[in-house]
Amino acid sequence: MTTLSTHTPDGRPRARGLGIDLPGTPGLLNAITDVPGFEVGVTTLVEGDRMRTGVTALLPRGRAGVGDPCAAGWYSLNGNGEMTGTTWIEEVGALNLPIVLSNTHAVGACHTGVVAWVNRVHPGLARQWLLPVCAETWDGYLNDINGGYVRPEHVEAALDSATGGPVTEGSVGGGTGMNCYEFKGGNGTSSRLVGYGAHTFTVAAFVQANFGSRTELTVAGRPVGGALADDNPLGGDWFVTEMGQAPPPPGAGSVIVVIATDAPLLPGQCKALARRVPLGLARTGTTGSHFSGDIFLALSTAEAPGLGSAFPVGPPREDEFGSMRFLPWGRMDDLYTATVHAVEEAVLNAMVVNAEMTGRDGHRTPALPHDRLQALLR
């Protein structure tokens, strides 16, 4: 019997569906939408032989909750990438807008699209300043990244389509043209349940995976990349031929990770979760290439009235004080563990729920071979 934690709604296996032994207890969907209220939408753009890109939209409190602040923090393992809006998050410790992921040269279109969407859906909020989070990874091997394919209306479509429930993984949305460990990569997600006294909290990860060299790949603690090193058209000669310069070293690429939880946290505690993301990535083998932009955002969807960003009206009232409930710092370890394990599985899901893709100029990326991987793990 299969479940949504192990298989996609159409029956394809996820990492657990291949029998990969992974730690921790996932939520019902094993996805970021296990966090109550979280919604995900995608616009996938595949046309002809050059367009392989798209947009992923993440709404932490859903469409209705845009404008309500979430405690948030971010961390960069390596800054060879872009995530807008982070200076404001650093300043106030809060996020109140959607998060949008796409390709490197589409960040401007994504920013414009989020502003247009908020102006249409929440016009009162749009009268303030808007500093959306738009992040990217490079899909220029399979996609004509200078084709200008992602437009603001595609961003609005992804936001309009956002919903709870199962999350589509693999080559969809912003992950459409991405590669991971020189296999086909893209979108992946996973969640963990964390007991806390009488409470059960969810910690979940969403990744746009586009990083790692083939020989680094590690699955469930087993270094398997060397045994899967054949059939690797991303090896570098294409870059020399087309770009007229030395290829980037193996491992180049990027990864964006969003961590969400319903546990009540301070902004600094969210940042602490974001700092644990590299430990989950490392469990899949990467050592963090200089040519990979590895940027992470963590947020809590627990109520955070003390982080409200509305303009104050008149002088402060006598009782105008913010308040937040949060886990004691000494009780954070189980959330750290859940973050690390969810990130590891999200990366594997992005690779397992995928298929070979051919894109611009005949460039081909093979899929992770399920049967060979299972044989190696046995």
- Any catalytic annotation for residue 292? yes
CA distances for 191 relative to 38, 63, 223, 252, angstroms:
12, 21, 24, 27
Instruction: Give residues with Cβ within 8 angstroms of 200, minimum separation 6.
Output: 193, 194
Report the run of H or E that residue 10 belongs to, with start and end: none
Q: Are strands 251-261 and 292-300 parallel, antiparallel or unpaired?
A: parallel
- Any catalytic annotation for residue 5? no
In the DSSP assignment, the letter for residue 81 is S
Rounded CA separation 5/2 (Å): 8
Measured over the CA atoms of residue 123, residue 100, residue 339 and residue 294, the dihedral's sign is negative
Out of 254, 262, 289, 300, which one is annotated catalytic? 254
CB atoms within 10 A of CB 226: 11
CB atoms within 10 A of CB 49: 12
Structure-token pair, residue 216? 């680094």
Measured over the CA atoms of residue 46, residue 211, residue 96 and residue 145, the dihedral's sign is negative
Q: Is 206 helix (H, G, I), strand (E, B) or coil?
A: strand
Q: Are the beta carbons of 258 and 58 closer than 8 angstroms?
A: yes
Out of 102, 171, 213, 292, which one is annotated catalytic? 292
- Any catalytic annotation for residue 76? no
Strand order in the sheet with 39-47: 39-47, 51-59, 99-103, 133-137
Which residue type is seen at 129?
Answer: W
Q: Cite the active site residues.
A: 254, 292, 294
